[in-house]
Structure 1
Amino acid sequence: MKLSERMERLFSYAKSTWKDPPPCPFNRDFQYAAVNLFSDKEVWERAALSFAYALRRAPVIITDDDRIIGRAYQVRFAEPDCYDPELKDYSLQSPGFESGEAVYKGYTDLAELHLVTEPARGHITWDWTKILRLGTEGLKAQYENALHSAKDLEAEHFYRGVLIALEALEDWNDQHVAYLRKMGKQELADLCQHVPRHPARGFKEAIQSFFMQYLAVFYENPFGGNGPGQFDKYLWPYLKKDLENGSCTLEEAEELVEELFIRLDERVSANDLWNEMIITGGTHRDGSSAVSPLSKIMVDAIMKLNITHPTVYMRVPKDADEEYVKLCAKYLKYGNNRAQIYYDPNVIRALTETDGVRPEDATEYGVGGCLEIGIQGMNDDLLQCAWVNMPLMLELAITGGYSLSERKQVDSAGIPLPGLAQHNTFESFYKNYLDFTDRLVGISFSMIERQSIHDEKYRPAYLISSMIDDCLERGRHMHAGGARYHDYSMTPLGIPNVIDGLYAIRTAVFDQHICTAEELVSAMRADFKGYERLQRQLRAIPKYGQENDDADDFARTVVTDIAKMFVTRRNRFGGIFRPMVLTFIYAPLAAAQLGATADGNNMHTMVAQGLTPQSRSMSCGITAAMNSCTKMPFYYFSGGASTMWDLDPHWASEKLIADLLMTFFHNGAQVFQGNTTDVKELIEAQKHPEDYEHLIVRVGGFSARFVGLTPGLQTDIINRRRHNR
């Protein structure tokens, strides 16, 4: 698959910015305005006017080959030389409400071990189709009408803030129109004169309207993990109409999609951790399949381009047609390890049964970045806030609060940790572990709540909130209770490690009396040096992932108990605390904090990927591992539960992958991802990185260039089990 000459030139231009992108002036201009121009205004107005000032000053960059207009670079932010004391973090990715010991007061030891973590922002999809359908003028009209009947002063401020933001977007777009006319590109200027100000009339206008608001949204919310979400589902009606009336061909549509993807990558290409997701396929509100010819165009486009942005995920609807399933398998095998596949029936079940999402809304789910599930255009943006090291909690419960890796007693902030030897029954120990874990989950939850309260005042996000239901009706921005679903989520890391460790304790100490609690703790402190026989015995105990009924039943209990710690909590707006299970870049970080484990792992063994069994535990083949995995209660994980299935490329044919994928889904799982690159190639890439800059791998919820990863992540990917039977 070759690019056209024009696309080759555009791609070459984009590549020239990868290693040295120009600095982004937005934050500097925003803070200048907040401090020097609008310091006498109230917070709500200062935020709106400063955003508008900075957006109007954003660069206008157009090349002769552009068919999609607008360009921004947001990897290198120009540092402000002054800060508004209240709005200093409005447009920055740094923590917003407090920092350092003030956040972790009383929890310093736990924070250093990633048992209490500070919230992150971003990870949201928004309903940009509002601008495609209404235009900014139509959207402004809605807010102007609402302003005349605002229910209170807060609603009035919100409506005025939205109008200020939309007018700034129009002005910035007009600057592009004027530039195009100077270039003599009258046809493109006419197109950009019409959109996004007015409703899009066809596919080309829809793409342009999307892209201009997309750039503005990312100036306002510059966080990795925000993403456009469902793309073909919303854009196909425009293309279908154009194909029928002859105003656009499939070839032209393919090239526009390729250009769009190159431009999305160009904005943040230097940062693989900046993960923006585009979804193909899925389900319409009436339950019918949303797969279209545009779905294939988008998957083919990302397979043609060796880029890491956007991340293209595929949603598989119920009763998916055979060709779409084949496309999923092809993408998994030949897509440079960038595929992640979702199964709609199981995700929608989790959203409706556990989260209480309306069924018609659940079909609109999107993914902002790595994994985190949210309802497109209906959620706030605290959906991937933190991670917590679950196996380390188990270690501290076993040792009585002693960190084996740090070799010190940890201040557990008043949470009782008597240690395994002080418990006469497994049930007593297990309850203590759950109580400890629940307390720490609660602390993180309260910190996210504090972040939300801060953002209500200091981060109104007027532009993106104008494209979130039900902000208009409620007269509130998305952080102030305007979003229909105000949910939080956090990642409980290493659940499979916890399962195997707890099962080993129950079996070895309490059921079979292989060792005493004191002997187990001593062996773990010694990293099993001098306890090799006990280590072999612990490793021989059945594991989650070997299709052992008792171990799998136990695993289901543990997973259920952990999930309930999240889903039973409610935040200040009644939203749920979603457990979202993925591993991302955290495996080496978590492993570095771990000592030897009760199931026989040595110190610093990598934690498992999502709900995938540990690599060493998947000793009975991929079928057994998947069968164990699909016994888990995935319906609790409305935030998403990832799995990682790295496959030997010489063994895994497209047909085999398709069969594995659909069997896995039909048995209850939500998400499938994995690598298909030969391990030998990865090892060579470690030795000779200069020869493998093209190599992309699946890390865990995102894909990245292998040679740009830390040595720990590289080793983790190399050492994962490669299934070949």
Structure 2
Amino acid sequence: SSPLFPEIDWRYLEELINTNYLSMEEKEKLKEVVSYWRGKSFSDVASLRIPNTLKETIDVFSAGIEIPSGSSAFANVHLAHCVPGYEKILTKGLNGLINDVEETMAKLDLTKIEDIKKLNFLEAVKIALQAVPSFAKRYAELAKKLAERENDPQRKTELEKIAEICEWVPANPARTFHEALQAIWFIYIALAMEGLGPAIGFGRMDQYLYPFYKKDIEEGRLTKEHARELIAMFLIKMNELAFHFPGSHPFTIERYRSGGEYPLSTITLGGVTRDGLDATNELSYLFLDAEMDVGLLEDIAVRVHKDTPYSFLMKACEVARLLAGKIKFVSDETAIRQLIEDGKSLEDARDYAVTGCFIHTVPGRSHDPPMGGGNFPNLPLALELALNNGVHRATGKQIGPRTGDPRKFKSYDELWKAYQKQVEWLVRAHVTLTNCIMPLFYELTPYPLLSALFDGCIERSKDITEGGALYNTGSFWFVGIVNVGDSLAAVKKVIFEDKRASMDALVDALEKNFEGYEELYHLLRNAPKFGNDDDYVDSIVNDIICHLCEEVSKYVSFGGRKFTVAAANVVAHIPCGRIIGATPEGRRAGEPFSDGGISPYYGRNINGITSTLRSVTKLDLWRTCAAVLNIKFNPSDIKEEDKIESKMRKFASLIKTFAKTGGDIIQFS
């Protein structure tokens, strides 16, 4: 099944109508939907809010990214990129949350204009909370009907139990492990339909489900084997939902055409408790066992800290080995410091989970969606502008500030200052675009159900899109950080220090994509490169990250939302590379940038994996909100059974060392 979002943008549905996926009846219905939303959608309204002076810049941001049927470049910001407070549902039930809403409504003074606004919000929340149990009861009724017709006694009993569970949750607090899983799934489906669904995380399932598991085991209602089966079925359900949604995320287009985007809904395991103790429990292991049974597209993040049990880490490594690098490993030390730097309490920071691909967030308390109008700030664009006096090489347009003729630069410091000014422009442009769009979510697509599951929203009577959650940040996902670092290091070394070529020659070589400049090309390629434990270039990459964090921190968004930096790009390094010409580290025009976010560029880390980890752990990653390192192994290194236990112990030790020495997120392929 696949929910559609015409209220965000209808244009992509026109392309869907022209496919062979739909029946004629479905196509006619979609045509009616398109006709209704034409001119009324979020995207239509947003296009009118963008200043004319910024529209040309948006075209450059979106260039190289194919957008279905002209969908706007800012239709894909989805604020449901978060982890709701599932514990609320399990311990209170939706009826308990409705009581909270009614108590808050009773305290309002409707002679005050602001309280009338609050009342409207709370009434919307109440309607949304009442709707989900009604939705669940449809499943209960269907299960009852199927049970009445069922001849197999075992299956009949199963259907009757399903009906009983769906009658009870999520309206009421869960009583069993099975009910808890079902309640979570109902809420997830409802949230996916409300909030442009991808990247709604499931949070720390081994933590909030453990009391139900433990009680059922102790009282004889559940066995480990049955719990594993239920978890496996839940993981399979996670793969049932696909999303056809609008926008310009470069990694969605082919999936959009081939049946939809998978949910990117991460389950987080392990880590520490709010008191700082190891949180690993039986469920942590059972989730990994179930993942081995299923092994589909569901995302699993494993938190690693100094006291992570070796047996648990080894099991996670085994899952990663057998499922082609499936697990993402996250450093508690770095992630917790990141969250504290963002203003979270120590206890809340310890309780973080991963949402979407990599963002660290506090479930049910911190709302931390991606910003930037659905795009990824293209950092090498700032360098290209610095080396072209603000002119975009591909279009010839003056889009950045005039920072001086680069041919006249006499020192690295002059280049660095020009680059900084272009970064300031790039960040300001993305902030402006974001701040034009963010109020529209509150005006056009508020999230009353999601709001009910975050601390602060009901108490403040404020929608989550307006900054109602206890903590509110928004992240810019910067592409090409390592390419810029390698490029600046190459220019500093080859041009300004060794004086092997002039700035004139460099600018000409870049304009001509190195044709006729093979000697200079090889000099630049052989300059120091990130990922080899070389302080010369590693320090420059760190300067880049620190400068980005300083620039982004100058601004706030709608509802007082703070901006943060993610050194991560999903797969945006491919389309973002298409619009940038040759770069000084020896990359030719149109080629991709480095992947992950802080991964060395392809083939440039020649001193082995430990040198790569040393380069990465020198960076002040605690300043970011996420920083992703992708490591590629030769499959034969870890798939051959010969000496596999020894290899896996080294693998686990590598991850633990990375986690305790300043790394953030590491994943393998």
Determine the C-alpha separation between the residues in 1 that align with 2:449 and 2:261. 26
Contact map agreement 1:316 1:341 (CA 8 A) in 2:
yes
Query: Of 305, 329, 332, which residue of structure 2 is paired with 1:317?
Result: 305
1:192 matched to 2:166? The reply is yes
Partner of 2:591: 605
Residue-pair matches, total: 597
Task: Give the secondary structure class of the aligned counterpart of 2:442.
Answer: helix
1:516-543: CA deviation from partner (whole Å, max 9, x where unpaired) = 1111111112222221111122222212
Paired residue secondary structure (1:650): helix
Tell me, yes or no, if the aligned pair for 1:258 and 1:301 is still in contact at 8 Å: yes
2:384 alignment counterpart? 395
Aligned CA distance change for structure 1 residues 96 and 372 (closer, same or farther; 3 Å): farther
Name the residue aligned to 2:142: 179
Give the superposed CA RMSD: 2.5
How many angstroms does 1:373 deviate by? 2.2
Q: Does residue 528 of the first structure (1) align with residue 514 of the second (2)? A: yes
Measure the CA separation in 2 of the matches of 1:217 and 1:77.
Answer: 22
- Deviation of 1:243 after TM superposition, in Å, equals 0.6
Using the TM superposition, give the Cα deviation of residue 272 of structure 1 relative to its aligned residue in structure 2, in angstroms. Answer: 4.5
| d(CA) in 1 for partners of 2:603, 2:195 | 41
Paired position in structure 1 for 2:270: 281
What amino acid maps onto 2:615 in structure 1?
S
| Structure 1 CA distance for aligned equivalents of residues 658 and 406 of structure 2 | 37
Query: What is the CA deviation profile of residues 596-632 of structure 1, one whole-angstrom value per residue up to 9, with x for unaligned ones?
Result: 2112222233211211121232011111111111100
Report deviation, 1:345: 1.4
C-alpha separation in 2, matches of 1:433 and 1:560? 14
Tell me, yes or no, if structure 1 residue 669 matches structure 2 residue 655.
Answer: no
| Paired residue secondary structure (1:642) | strand
Q: Does 1:226 align with 2:215?
A: no
Match of 1:43 in 2: none
* 8 Å Cα contact 1:227/1:368 also seen in 2: yes
The structural deviation recorded for 1:109 is 4.3
Give the drift of 1:587. 2.0
Residue range with higher mean Cα deviation, 442-451 or 492-501: 442-451
Aligned: 1:165 with 2:122: no
Distance 1:528 1:583, change over 3 A: same
Superposition pairs of residues 402-481 of structure 1, within 5 angstroms: 402-404=391-393, 406=394, 408-412=395-399, 415-481=401-467
* 8 A contact 1:156–1:475 mirrored in 2: yes
Per the TM alignment, residue 346 of structure 1 is displaced from its structure 2 partner at its CA by 0.9
Correspondence 1:551-700 to 2 at 5 A: 551-609=537-595, 610-638=597-625, 640-652=626-638, 653-675=647-669
Residues 306 and 272 from structure 1, CA distance in 2 versus in 1: closer, same or farther, beyond 3 angstroms? farther
C-alpha deviation, 1:183, in angstroms:
1.9
Partner of 1:339: 327
Q: How does 1:378-389 map to 2 (within 5 A)?
A: 378-380=365-367, 382-383=369-370, 385=372, 386-389=375-378
TM-score by length of 2: 0.84
Q: Secondary structure at the match of 2:241?
A: helix
Give runs of ≥4 in structure 1 deviating > 4 Å.
26-31, 76-79, 84-87
Deviation at 1:106, TM superposition (A): 2.0
Per the alignment, residue 77 of structure 2 pairs with: 120
Correspondence 1:266 to 2:240? yes
Q: 1:144 aligns with which of 99, 102, 127?
A: 102
Cα separation, 2, equivalents of 1:468 and 1:86: 33
Q: Taking every aligned residue pair, what percent have the same amino acid on both sides?
A: 25
Aligned partner (choices 289, 292, 310) of residue 303 of structure 1 = 292
* 1:91-110 map, 5 Å: 95=43, 97-99=45-47, 103=50, 105-110=52-57
Give 1:708's aligned residue: none
The 3 A distance-change label for structure 1 pair 86 and 132 is: farther
Quote how far apart the aligned CAs of 1:410 are.
2.0
Name 1:691's counterpart in structure 2.
none
**Equivalent AA in structure 1 for residue 307 of structure 2:** D
SS of alignment partner, residue 546 of structure 1: coil
Deviations 1:166-186 (A, max 9, x none): 111122222222222222233
Partner of 1:111: 58
Q: State the distance in 2 between where 1:655 and 1:113 align.
A: 47
Contact 1:492–1:580 (8 Å) recurs in 2: yes
CA distance in 1, matches of 2:217, 2:129: 31
Give a deviation string over 1:660-685, Cα, whole Å, max 9, x none.
2112122100101120xxxxxxxxxx
Cα 1:499/1:225, change in 2 over 3 Å: same
Question: Structure 2: how far apart are the matches of 1:411 and 1:403?
Answer: 6
Preserved CA contact (<8 Å) 1:27 1:80: no
Following the alignment from structure 2 to structure 1, what is the Cα–Cα distance between the partners of residues 588 and 34? Answer: 49
Preserved CA contact (<8 Å) 2:304 2:659: no
Q: Which amino acid aligns with 1:132?
A: L
Partner of 1:692: none
Q: Is the 8 A contact 1:104 1:111 kept in 2?
A: no
**Per-residue displacement from partner, 1:431-479 (whole Å, max 9, x unpaired)?**
1211111122122122222222111222221111100111111111101
Alpha-carbon separation, structure 1, partners of 2:288 and 2:447:
32
**Contact 1:583–1:608 (CA under 8 A) maintained in structure 2:** no
Say which SS state the counterpart of residue 114 (structure 1) adopts. Answer: helix
Q: Distance in 1 between matches of 2:365 and 2:405?
A: 44
Aligned position for 2:88: 130
1:703 match: none
Which secondary structure state, in structure 2, belongs to the residue aligned with residue 224 of structure 1? coil
**Letter aligned with residue 159 of structure 1:** L
Matches within 5 A, 1:250-261: 250-261=224-235
Deviates more, 1:298-307 or 1:381-390: 381-390
Q: Which moved more, 1:570-579 or 1:480-489?
A: 570-579
- The answer to whether residue 28 in structure 2 is matched with residue 80 in structure 1 is no
User: Contact (CA 8 Å) 1:124, 1:227: kept in 2 or not?
Assistant: yes
Local SS of the residue matching 1:617:
coil
Report the AA paired with residue 634 of structure 1.
L
Structure 2 vs 1, CA of residues 126 and 168 (structure 1 numbering), >3 Å: closer, same or farther?
same
Aligned mates of 2:480, 2:89 — CA distance in 1: 41
Cα deviation for residue 87 of structure 1 reads: 6.9
Contact 1:346–1:670 at 8 Å: present in 2 too?
yes
Change (3 A) 1:446 1:403: closer
Deviations 1:671-702 (A, max 9, x none): 01120xxxxxxxxxxxxxxxxxxxxxxxxxxx
Q: 1:312 to 1:506 in 2, by over 3 A?
A: same
Deviation of the 1:572 alpha carbon: 4.1
- Gap change, CA 1:148 and 1:549, over 3 Å in 2: same
Instruction: Report the Cα distance in structure 1 between the residues aligned to 2:541 and 2:429, rounded to whole angstroms.
Output: 25
Give the 3 Å change call, closer, same or farther, for CA 300–384 of structure 1 in structure 2: farther
What is the alpha-carbon distance in structure 2 between the residues aligned to residue 256 and residue 104 of structure 1?
A: 52
> Hey, what's the Cα distance between the residues in 2 that align with 1:145 and 1:553?
55
Contact 1:342 1:671 survives alignment (8 Å): yes
1:495 equivalent to 2:481? Answer: yes
